[in-house]
Amino acid sequence: MTHIDISPDSEFGIDNLPYGVFSTAGTDRRVGIRYGDNVVDLAVALDDDVFAEASLNSFMAQGRTRWVEVRDAITDAITGDSVPAHAVHPIDTVTMHMPFDVADYVDFYASEHHASNLGRLFRPDSEPLMPNWKHLPVGYHGRSGTVVVSGTDITRPNGQRKAPDEASPTFGPSTRLDIEAEMGFVVGVPSDAPITPDRFAEHVFGAVIVNDWSARDIQAWEYVPLGPNLGKSFATSISPWVVPLLALEAARVSTPVQDPEPLEYLRETQSWALDIDLTVTWNGYDVARPPYREMYWSPAQMLAHETVNGATSRTGDLFASGTISGPEKHQRGAFIELTWGGREPVSLGDETRTFLEDGDDVVIAASAPGPNGPRIGFGDVRGRIVPA
């Protein structure tokens, strides 16, 4: 047995314990938790074969009571110095993988600031928000098969593009490749019935950082009248660590005032809005700090809307918030907003950018308040653009 030393201000302390899937040289993938700068092999530490699997899905499907039991057991093992030494691996000796098998993927559009900014960009002579926006969480059904783990290179997508001054579309690589800094939520317990906002924590296991890469030129030509398709479906990146909802109680806050009052199926008795701070780094330069607490719709309301029509939810379903933006320019979580449609370039040292160029690196990090001082870290999600 061993004692695991960590910094007292680590974002991966005993109040966090996020789950991921890892491997070491010559070993199979299995489930671990991060504690400080170490990964603890749960199959060894808890002698439980569900953690010897290459995905969190089986464990997530066991439900909230089991999630609490495991969290208590690993907390006791760590604080009691009863973790076997061979279950502990330094973080720099492991390879991280997709933490769960994605069953379905839905992406929402839950930031009033983001939606209003895009409305002003694309419809300058109209109201920035569409009439339905404050009545329901708007979203689109994405492609689960192209959700990838942090560190995966992103290939610039090809598609049809048509500039306003062109008579017909052309085909080729996207020239307006963008990011969307988001938070995503992972369903653990499936349901064949609608999931009300107050049952959110019974079904949702945890949260990840999401970068919903977007080809704005492809998207602009295709999305009327049915919505995003090829402009979004080529890649969505997620962080390797799933922070359990059980670690985020201290981060819960109220949503902004929702006016008009939502319809009854969207009403929460206790809000699941979260105080999460994100940082967007572009080629090593911090360019934006989006605040998740500004989101108009909570994740519980998103899930309630997603399932209210009878759509089933499955273990491994991922739904994301849409771009996170605040009221200030430095809080905009997409480059189309940050550069105001490409008209206001961003300085990156001696260079400027409007949209992503080949070779660019983007890293999105996030953290939330913890219950006892140190913040709860989500790690980060990173990707590098490679040519089409």
* Bind-site residues for Mg(2+): 212, 232, 236
Residue ranges of the binding site for substrate: 109, 123, 219, 223, 323
Q: What is 26-62 written as a DSSP string?
A: T---EEEEEETTEEEEHHHHTT-GGGGSSSSHHHHTT
Does the N-terminal peptide bond of residue 137 adopt cis geometry, omega within 30 degrees of 0? no
- Residue 306, Cβ density class (10 Å: 0-12 exposed, 13-18 middle, ≥19 buried): buried
Residue 4, Cβ neighbours under 10 Å: how many? 17
The position carrying tokens 């080809």 is: 215
| Identity at 373, one-letter amino acid code | G
Backbone angles phi, psi at 37, to 5 degrees: -105, 35
Task: Indicate the DSSP class of residue 220.
Answer: H
CB neighbours of residue 190 within 10 Å: 16
Catalytic residue list: 114
**How do beta strands 236-238 and 147-149 pair?**
parallel
Those residues with Cβ within 8 angstroms of residue 73's Cβ, 6 or more apart along the chain or in another chain: 46
- Which residues 6+ apart lie within 8 Å of 46 measured at CB? 70, 73, 74, 77
What does the alpha-carbon distance between residue 368 and residue 349 come to, in Å, rounded to a whole number? 29
The alpha carbon torsion through 349, 355, 356, 360 (nearest 10 deg) reads 10
